[in-house]
Structure formats: C-alpha cells, structure tokens
Amino acid sequence: MHPDDETRTDPLVPAEEDAPPVVVDDAAGEASERLPLRAPSAVVTVVRMGNPTNGDAISRVLTTIGRVDLALADELHAQVSVDDPAIRPYSVVRRAATLDVVAFRDDIAQALLRGDPEARLVTRVAASSFVREGEDALDIRLAFETPTVTRISGHDHLLPDLHSVFGSLAKRWEALGWEPVLDVAEVKRVAVWPEHLRYLTARVEDGREQRGYIGVVRYAVDRIRPQQRAALWALARFGEYRAVGRGTSHGLGRIRVLARNERWEPGQRVSVWTPASVPADPACPGDLLHLSGAAGRRGPRREGPREVRHASA
C-alpha cells in the first residue's frame, strides 16, 4: 500500500546555525536529515469483556458503550458504517468466550468498564513505547497469526510486501491523529523473506468468506536509514495492538513481532499483552483503576498454542 498523504513540513525554518545536521547514510547511499521520531503521547488500554453468546463483536462493543454514553456509541457507530475501518480508534480480539478490546482513547476504555460490570482492565501501555530509536534489530520478523489481506486500488492484495503491510499500519497510525512517522512509499532496499506462508479462507461474522495468508515473514531493514528503520519498528509494535489489513474487527490481520530465533507454528496465537496487576501510577487514571476492580488482581496467564478457528479470531 502506498499512502498518498502529503509531506508535512514545519513552517518555522530554523536559523542556519541551528539547522539539523545532514548526514550521509552509507547503507542507503544518499544524504538525509536525521531527525528524532515524535512518539505519540496516547495510552493504549486493553479491556477484557465477556461474550458468552459468541455474537457480533462490534455490536457487543457498541451496545456496552451505549449503556453509559450514547453520544460516544453514535460516534463509533458512524465509523462502522464507513467503508474504511482504519479510522476506528479501537480493535477487537475474539477469544473462546471473551473479547479483548484494544482502546486507543480513554473515553472508550472508561465506557466499556462502566457498561459491563464483568469487564476488567488487562493492561495499559504508553504508545511512546512503540518508538525506540537506536535499539532496533536489523530484521523485523512478523507472525501473521490470522488470515491477512490488504486492499490496493480497490482489489484484495494477498502478498505480505513491505508497502502493503506497513502502509496499512501507517494509515491506521495517522488515523488516530498521531504524528506521521514515515511515508512508506519512500522506503527502498528492504528485502522480504517469507519463512513460512500459507493461504486460508476465513468465514467472518457477516457470513462472507475472506481469503488471506498466515505465516512468518522477515523484513531485512539493514540497508535503510536508521530513522526509517526505527519508524518501521514503531509501526510493527503498533500493529500488535491494531492489526493490519481488512477485516480486523472480525479478527483478521492479527500480527505479532517475533524474536530473532523464536519459532511459530500455524494455529499459535499469543497476544503481545501479558495480563498483569493494574498499574497504580499517573499513567492510569483513577476512574479506570477503580472501574477495573481491585487493584493488583492478576489476569489469566498468556494463552499458548491453540487450534485455528477460521470463523473468527
């Protein structure tokens, strides 16, 4: 996917003596300005809800929110009706009898916790943790744990190439109002190595069938500029919470960053978030802490390998 977003420039041009240094990156063979990435200030919250009827996940989320905040439910419902789901400020991970809702806004997390007495806070993560310049490896290994498909020019795209995968993530990043980190279309010299790839057809909640790929893909980012590499890593970490491509609200497009020698087998689906005690610090608003139940209560252990259910994720 090639984002068409216009390049943003700072209207305040620094004085010549204060101008950022221009460096030559030997790997890319070209001059570039090395500027620090701007990390988003948002906090990502994961809320776990019961879903005993195994019904439509989005309807379950909106109904819960509507019990306590009709205006917010209407706002989110209007986004559901839009053809482009990238603007939704939340994603949903379906489990056997529960839903994990990843909320990128505190008002959504608060409404879910108020609207469902059984809902609880799983974890909160500062979005700034996605950006870690100078700490990133030269290979990005992604496990596509549920069928993944992107859209290019109105057509399904069934290859995990750099621009379709990371372009989709960049679009979702910017849809949250976060400062753009990268124009993926400008990234060159990245080799893509599928370590394991297969295709499956998933039946999603509205009854339609969607074909997609699962497996492990390695993106060799050793020959690009350090800032581009840091931006791709930030998008990969973000994708573990947001998912990539079409049908993410139905459980498609779930990805996970793998360690260098970490193995992955078809059917293995492990969330990046590890349930832990609720943090009692300024990053966690008091109302969220109160509504989640007793502070310090630990959630269930991280899930291990399980059978793939193509009907949902």
In this predicted structure, what is the pLDDT of residue 173?
94
What does the alpha-carbon distance between residue 306 and residue 105 come to, in Å, rounded to a whole number? Answer: 30
Residue 293 lies in a domain: no
In this predicted structure, what is the pLDDT of residue 16?
36
Among 106, 142, 141, smallest CA distance to 121 is for 106
In this predicted structure, what is the pLDDT of residue 94?
80
Q: How far, rounded to the nearest angstrom, does the alpha carbon of residue 265 sit from its chain's CA centroid?
A: 21
In this predicted structure, what is the pLDDT of residue 305?
35
pLDDT at 300 exceeding the cut of 50: no
22-31, 58-67, 83-92, 176-185: segment of lowest average pLDDT: 22-31
Residue 202 lies in a domain: yes
Instruction: Put the strands of the sheet holding 191-203 in their side by side order.
Output: 191-203, 209-220, 139-148, 255-258
Residue 264 lies in a domain: no
**DSSP string for residues in 200-222:** EEEE-TTS-EEEEEEEEEEEE-T
In this predicted structure, what is the pLDDT of residue 138?
92
Among 212, 225, 208, 201, smallest CA distance to 164 is for 212
In this prediction, residue 154 has a pLDDT band, given cuts at 50, 70 and 90, of confident
In one letter, which amino acid is 245? Answer: G
Query: For 245-255, what is each residue's pLDDT tens digit?
Result: 988 877 889 99
**Helix (H, G, I), strand (E, B), or coil: what is residue 175?**
helix
Residue 107 lies in a domain: no
Measured in residues, the chain has a length of: 313
In this prediction, residue 84 has a pLDDT band, given cuts at 50, 70 and 90, of low
Pick the more confident residue, 88 or 276: 88
Pair type for strands 209-220 and 191-203: antiparallel
In this predicted structure, what is the pLDDT of residue 273?
79
In this predicted structure, what is the pLDDT of residue 54?
63
Among 255, 39, 42, smallest CA distance to 140 is for 255
Backbone angles phi, psi at 164, to 5 degrees: -75, -45
CATH of residue 231: 3.30.70.1900
Residue 175 lies in a domain: yes
CA–CA distance from 288 to each of 61, 89, 120 (Å)? 17, 18, 9
Pick the more confident residue, 52 or 189: 189
> Could you give the number of structural domains in the chain?
1
Pick the more confident residue, 134 or 102: 102
In this predicted structure, what is the pLDDT of residue 155?
87
In this prediction, residue 50 has a pLDDT band, given cuts at 50, 70 and 90, of confident
Residue 198 lies in a domain: yes
Q: Looking at 41-177, which runs of residues are DSSP E strands?
A: 43-50, 90-94, 98-103, 120-126, 139-148, 150-152, 155-157
In this predicted structure, what is the pLDDT of residue 162?
95
Is the pTM higher than 0.85? The answer reads no
13-17, 38-42, 151-155, 225-229: segment of lowest average pLDDT: 13-17
Residue 137 lies in a domain: yes
What domain range is 168 assigned to? 130-258
In this predicted structure, what is the pLDDT of residue 194?
94
pLDDT at 87 exceeding the cut of 60: yes
Residue 309 lies in a domain: no
Instruction: Give the mean pLDDT of 62-81.
Output: 89
Question: Is-contact 47 119, C-beta < 8 A?
Answer: yes
- Report percent pLDDT > 90 for the chain: 47
Instruction: Give the mean pLDDT of 50-67.
Output: 84
In this predicted structure, what is the pLDDT of residue 15?
34
Pair type for strands 155-157 and 150-152: antiparallel
